[in-house]
Structures are given as structure tokens and as C-alpha cells.
């Protein structure tokens, strides 16, 4: 009887191990979240200094695009003259209504601007920039003063 109980225990352990491995493969192969929905290049004239992810960028005209079409979680922002660029992570976002124009949405805290969302004309699917540690600190310091707002900047699609 002891041999049969030991074999049954081994089979149960093996079955559990296979189920765990199958679940890990499923999560890796079929991720539940999606990422950036902006395809192609967007261009915008941003009239203020701002942060995109962990990078601080000066005011100016910028092009924004997904860095690699196989990994839609990283975008690149580059100044029109090519002198400044930065990479930043994005997650998927949903607009409340389908945007009638492409736009960048910035969170504004006092005189600090942070790129928050990007939407392309005609699609409710967009991109959300996760809050950096610095943005979270600014939020904490500005929230008590009631200086939280959003700034919308129009963008347009450009040929790659």
C-alpha cells in the first residue's frame, strides 16, 4: 500500500508541475495586456518644457513613434532637428470618446508638464505613459495646493 500512495503522490506532484508550466507558457505566449496603439509617426509642436518618462525635454517640435513594431511598449520622441531624443515606456489607454484629432495629453502640476497620453485621430485606442517617480513626487507636493490640470497639444500624422 505504501508504494501505491507514493506513486499517487508523485503523479499528483507531476500533474501540478505540468499545470504550472502550462500556465507560465500561456502567460508568456498570450499576454493579457496590450501596449501602444499609435502606429506610425505623430508630430507635435510642444510650447513648454516637459517630461516624457524619465527624460526632461525642452519646448519644440517633436516626432513620436513606436520604437519597434514587435514590442509596442517603448516609444521614442525626437526633436525635429534630431538634437534631442528619449525613449519612454507606454501602456494601452482608452479614450472616453473617439478623438476627432490626434493629440498629446500632458499632466500639469504647477509649472511642471508630464506627457501622459497619446491618441491618434479616429481611434479610441491610445497610449498611456506610466507616472515616473519624479512625477509622483511632484503630484504629492502640488496636490495640497490644488494645482493639478491637463494640457492638450494637437498632433498630426507624418509620413515615415
Burial string for 36-74 (b: 16+ CB within 10 Å, else e) reads: bbbeebbebebeeebbbbeeebeebebbbbbeeeeebbe
Whether 119 and 157 have beta carbons less than 8 Å apart is answered as no
Q: In this predicted model, what pLDDT tens digit does every residue of 78-132 receive, in sequence order?
A: 999 999 999 999 999 999 898 899 999 999 998 899 999 999 988 899 999 999 9
Q: Same domain for 125 and 51?
A: yes
Query: What is the C-alpha R_g of the chain?
Result: 22
Domain hosting residue 96, numbered range: 41-158
Q: Same domain for 120 and 140?
A: yes
Report how far apart, in Å, the C-alpha atoms of 19 and of each of 14, 22, 23, 133 are: 9, 5, 6, 37
Going across the sheet that includes 60-68, the strands are 85-89, 71-79, 60-68, 41-46, 156-158
The label of the residue with cell 499609435 reads 38
Question: How many structural domains are present in the chain?
Answer: 2
Q: Same domain for 54 and 86?
A: yes
The pTM (predicted TM-score) of the whole model is 0.72
Q: Same domain for 124 and 145?
A: yes
Q: Same domain for 49 and 15?
A: no
Q: In this predicted model, what pLDDT tens digit does every residue of 128-160 receive, in sequence order?
A: 999 999 999 998 887 667 667 788 887 877 876
Q: Please tell me the predicted confidence (pLDDT) of residue 5.
A: 60
Q: Please tell me the predicted confidence (pLDDT) of residue 13.
A: 58
Query: For 44, phi and psi rounded to 5 degrees?
Result: -150, 145
Whether 99 and 120 have beta carbons less than 8 Å apart is answered as yes
Amino acid at each position: 500500500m505504501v508504494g501505491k500512495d507514493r506513486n499517487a503522490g508523485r503523479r499528483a506532484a507531476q500533474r501540478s508541475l505540468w499545470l504550472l508550466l502550462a500556465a507560465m507558457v500561456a502567460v508568456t505566449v498570450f499576454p493579457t495586456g496590450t501596449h501602444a496603439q499609435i502606429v506610425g509617426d505623430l508630430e507635435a509642436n510642444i510650447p513648454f518644457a516637459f517630461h516624457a518618462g524619465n527624460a526632461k525635454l525642452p519646448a519644440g517640435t517633436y516626432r513620436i513613434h513606436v520604437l519597434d513594431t514587435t514590442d509596442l511598449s517603448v516609444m521614442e520622441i525626437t526633436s525635429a532637428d534630431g538634437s534631442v531624443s528619449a525613449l519612454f515606456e507606454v501602456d494601452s489607454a482608452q479614450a472616453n470618446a473617439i478623438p476627432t484629432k490626434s493629440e498629446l495629453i500632458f499632466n500639469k502640476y504647477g509649472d511642471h508638464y508630464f506627457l501622459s497620453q497619446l491618441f491618434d485621430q479616429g481611434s479610441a485606442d491610445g497610449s498611456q505613459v506610466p507616472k515616473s517617480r519624479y512625477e509622483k513626487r511632484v503630484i504629492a507636493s502640488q496636490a495640497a495646493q490644488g494645482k493639478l490640470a491637463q494640457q492638450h497639444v494637437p498632433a498630426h500624422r507624418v509620413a515615415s
